[in-house]
Structure 1
Amino acid sequence: MDEAFIPDVLPEFFLCFPQTRIPPAFLKFFNGETPALFVLEGPAGKSWQVGVEQIESDLFFKRGWPDFVEENNLEYGDFLTFCYAGNSKLYVKIYEKDGCLKQDQENVHAPAPTDQAANESGNSNVSITLFELVMNEYCLKRKRLTIPAVFGNRFMKRGEEKIATLRTGSDSWQVKVCRDDRFLLRRGIGKFMCDNNLRVGDACRFELIDEEKFIMVVHIRRFPDKVVN
């Protein structure tokens, strides 16, 4: 889907994650009728419904915000801009701490593809057999991980469930993989997180090595500021 067109003239505010407070000075653009529910639309055209809660004179994103955080893999220090287009719609752009726009906003840091075959037009047919996920507070608390659609669409059908074997070294875990509106690693992933002492900021790279048995090798990269006892 083409990137959403955001006119320069829209009123705009920014937040630095994990902030959720809408700047009080911005409320004037709602003309005294602050929406109870906003539609947040990302650059790829995907949208999320997020409610707001008023605490004293301040307004905060609340209901639906955790899903937005998880699916966009928000990390501490990420910079978000919100452009108000009226009718309760906010266009959102997300920038990483290095100032670069996040290219993949579904809880994924996509590594380079492992299998490419260029066709006559110069384009590439890419077979994605690995992906990388960065742990955040929401996914660790809910004990589930969202698999990128580019991977899930290749190996699963809608409504299908599979049991994946995750391996790190000589250890292995059985984890349920399901597909509905999203692709999720669910039952069993909590034990995998606990046994591997995963914390916020840790990155897990999943590499599918056996499609038939759905075996994935997981390489864990620890967040550099964390000390593991």
Structure 2
Amino acid sequence: MDFPSFFKVLVHDSKSILRIPTLFVSRFEEILPQHALLKTKSGETWPVKIVRIDERYCFTDGWPKFVNDLKLEIGDLLVFWLIIEARSSFKVAIYGIRGCEKEFNSAATNHCPIKVEQAESTELDLRSIRILQPKPSDTDAKRRKLKRNENPSCGAQKSFNSVEDRRFTKVMAKHHRYRLHVPLLFAEKTGLMGKTQVELRYQNGWSTNVVLKQSTKPHMLDMCAGWPEFRKKNRLLCGKKCAFDYVPETGSIQVQLL
């Protein structure tokens, strides 16, 4: 199986942080970890943090140590593979300016190698943190269970007291390019909290499914994978105001310009 990958050429600015390519993020944002382990060919592992800075995802904390320990140089080419089975790890290959892969060993670096057992344990802990943070509350789980036992039509009538309950509006901005925040009240009223995807339908009839992702902050929901394509396809440009209406009969969201 091929793993998602990207490459970066090391420049002066990327010694302190490394920006992940935007195309890679738009395709695999839903599986990007908040913390990751960088694994080299020697088997050594470095922990790094992935942070969103000015609409770009970057390797931050731990990245300078990775650069310094391996004595990386300007012009080095680094290839990163995101390991799907362990979402908190990247396999890294490093090529010098002459085009050949660099070889590293523990004795040549200042890095204290992590034992295999320790690395696996660390990876498991990081993966657990990522899963537990967006977990819906017990209250949300009980609410969904009650809804499944109700008559669908009655549930819809009880849930929505007005049109405003199932609508929210947004003025498109630069920070909406790769994800769109769903208001908490709307998400709770429509039962989107806890769901993994929803269908978006544009006013011209074009539709697609987008991934729903609970952010690190409790009880917040974002549209991510699928949203950038939907936005571009329907030319939802900066400055345009859009309405998002939940359709109870289909469980989809109708999008239109205002």
Same fold (TM over 0.5): no
Looking at secondary structure, tell me which structure has more strand per residue.
Answer: 1
Looking at secondary structure, tell me which structure has more helix per residue.
Answer: 2
TM-score (norm 1): 0.42
Bigger radius of gyration among the two = 2
TM-score (norm 2): 0.37
